[in-house]
Amino acid sequence: MTNKSTTTYLLALDQGTSSSRSIVFDDRGRIVAQAQLELPQIYPQPGWVEHDPLEIWRTQIATARQALEQAGLQAGDIRALGITNQRETAVLWNRRTGKPVHHAIVWQDRRAEPLCAELRSQGHEATIQAKTGLRVDAYFSATKLRWLLDNVPGARAAADAGELAFGTVDSWLIWQLTGGKVHVTDVSNAARTMLFNVHTNDWDDDLLGLLRIPRSLLPRVQPSSSDFGTTDSALLGGGIAIGGVAGDQQSALFGQACFSAGMAKNTYGTGCFLLMHTGHSFQTSSNGLLTTSAAQATARPEYAMEGSVFVGGAVVQWLRDGLRAISSSSEVQSLAESVPDSGGVMMVPAFTGLGAPYWKPEARGTITGLTRGTTIAHIARASLESIAYQSAALLQAMSRDAVAAGGAPVSELRVDGGACVNDLLMQFQADLLGIPVVRPEVVETTALGAAYLAGLSCGVYRGTEELSALWRAQRRFLPTLGSARAQALMAQWEHAVAQATLPQ
């Protein structure tokens, strides 16, 4: 039993694509209490995905109150608060009223693809990638913001008059938490906008000019572990210092104690996100990956290579809600295990195109290898395995980049996120990769990273060495397939991907 009088507590707000969560951690990184609420998804038309920013705020503050109540703690018992969030999602609001001018445009949304195609055809991609580490894609915030300015009545004029504020979800939450006093973001979120120069750690005037975005819209950028203000005391029964902010994937890299070059993690959530730390070295990928700012505790830039799978755990939601093959997500493992393998079925869940390393926005979901003997169990297993195939393609690309830069291939993969509790999936991942897949004791590493960043800023932790010592493995999945068989399976996967990317 923890002694509340001698234990230090940290609160993490984890605002994700499908839910808002709050978790209270103790200073050893152990979960004390948590609360979660689902976030409604809005699909105005095919390829468009939105959230109501007021629902984001309502669900997030409600879970924070629930977590504190469940832990039996007051605001005064919390040393600091950290925020981690779905990245790239664009929110635009009125500075005076605090009200959004439109729904948030979610990272999955593809409406800005025509503008991206225009930027690419005009030859801007190389410059944008050199400055930001990103490819020109509708995934990132800049073209979403440009769409809002061009399509919401009055938005362009209001922005030019300095009346509007833009932010990713972290900035929106900080604005709300501080009663509109603080408009700020951290480097890891800023790095996902396609407007941020990751070499100078500042907004890039050339990119702002290219995209016709007024600088006055943008939040101030700080290191991920720093002073982001204090919560309005009316919200949680007292003011709490906001000491850590990081985009969800960089936060998970931090929570997994991947602090040095060559360490990698994969988060299995709605999408899958594989990041490898590259230290202070900015590396441009030759294999379709992104370079991004890692969460950092100082002003000195730190980087990571990243690959994103747009549809990871969401394929299980599709089995439940689209095919109605299962009534709850927890049933998928037993259904998949009811057959020894996928029976040659390959599922490519390109519902919103394919992300890294393919970057095929025109791709669409495809199931290949069907026979009269195929059952829903085979499709369920192929759907689950598609998460591992996409992640394996990413890690192989990442290892090629690492070797080309004079480093070594990734030697183990640390895993987290909701789907990493699926033993069948993790074992198959290890088999495809041929390296150990390691699941930590605390799989909520996204929230843990935010708590650690907050703890660092207020002196709970002395440095990252102390955080590395807190990391513990719960299970190691070792590969059981021979490399020839793993290569043959990956070749089958690449063949299936080719079918999904034929001209529509």
Does 60 carry a binding-site annotation?
no
3-state DSSP assignment of residue 437: strand
| Lookup result for tokens 């979660």 | 36
Q: At which residue do the structure tokens 């397939």 appear?
A: 481
Q: Which of 250, 121, 273 has the alpha carbon at shortest distance from 198?
A: 250
Torsion of CA 188, 135, 291, 427, to 10 degrees: 100
Contact 289, 306 (CB under 8 A): yes
Beta pairing, strands 91-94 & 164-167: antiparallel
- State the DSSP code for 412: -
* Tokens, residue 325: 């093959």
- Give CA–CA dist 290/20, Å, rounded: 27
CA distance 384 to 312: 8
- DSSP conformational letter for 90: B
Q: Is 88 annotated as a binding residue?
A: yes
Residue 324 counted as an annotated binding residue: no
What six digits make up the tokens of 431? 């088999």
Residue 317 burial by CB count (10 A; 0-12/13-18/19+): exposed, middle or buried?
A: middle
CA 245 to chain centre: 13
Q: How many CB atoms lie within 10 A of CB 491?
A: 10
Q: How many whole angstroms separate alpha carbon 165 and alpha carbon 284? A: 31
**How far apart are alpha carbons 52 and 41 in whole angstroms?**
8
Q: Is 139 annotated as a binding residue?
A: yes
Instruction: Report d(CA 459, CA 399) in Å as an integer.
Output: 36
Tokens representing residue 132 in the block: 């930001």
Structure tokens at 55: 């629902």
Q: Is 248 annotated as a binding residue?
A: yes
Q: Is 270 annotated as a binding residue?
A: yes
Type of residue numbered 98: G
Contact (Cβ atoms closer than 8 angstroms) between residue 101 and residue 94: yes
317: annotated binding-site residue? yes
DSSP for 345-366, please give it: -EEE--BTBB-TTT-BTT---E
Peptide bond into 357 cis (omega under 30): yes
Segment holding 94, helix H or strand E: strand 91-94
338 is known to lie in a ligand binding site: no
Question: What single letter denotes the amino acid at residue 464?
Answer: T
C-alpha–C-alpha distance, residues 456 and 464, integer Å? 8
For the annotated binding site for ATP, the residues are 17-19, 270, 313, 317, 418
Binding-site members for glycerol are 87-88, 139, 248-249
Q: Which residues are annotated as a binding site?
A: 17-19, 21, 87-88, 139, 248-249, 270, 313, 317, 418, 422
Q: Detail the residues annotated as belonging to a binding site for ADP.
A: 17, 21, 270, 313, 418, 422
Residues at the annotated binding site for sn-glycerol 3-phosphate? 17, 87-88, 139, 248
